[in-house]
Structure 1
């Protein structure tokens, strides 16, 4: 457990925790898609508003879109990194060529190549 200078503590808990205590109740409530079955009053009310009121649905939709956009961007970055790694692993040597093909900067290609070389040196 970590205690900050502000008096707050941070603890990591799996949302799969299913203990027979208030923390277990909270984790089950967070996993529960049905607002009517949520035990904690404040959480139940927030969940009900998010699902049943127009403004709540707009918030959820906007948040979901942001999360989806972020996931797509991360997947594109991973795919680009894998493509660059495959290119160099198969004997490619021209950073300018792969940068042009992938529409990214030569500096980004070199950064990924250097990271790959660094990982390979550890093996």
Structure 2
């Protein structure tokens, strides 16, 4: 399953009210990555890694990022951005996913719980 296929499945299932959208490839290293790097700071385990923003939730500040692991696999992180440069420990909150099936399950469950 690709990211595009995952979102197509969810759009088909939930229609125009589905609250996530894919980010264009031209924005993959744009404003959402800049914001994340500002929020996580130098000491974070993702600091200095090649991070790409791939999807955004319309109804909150959750952004899905992907990082290539050292073993050639993609690891997905969903960060809840705070838009603050001075975050307390534990912020911004995030969830780590090792595959797209886990990402899809999390997004779908969150959508059902929060929006339906």
Instruction: Confirm or deny a common fold (TM above 0.5).
Output: no
Q: Which has the higher contact order (CA 8 A, sep 6+)?
A: 2
Q: Radius of gyration: which is bigger?
A: 1
Structure with more of its chain in strand, by fraction = 2
Bigger helix fraction: 1
Q: Report the TM-score when normalising by structure 2.
A: 0.24
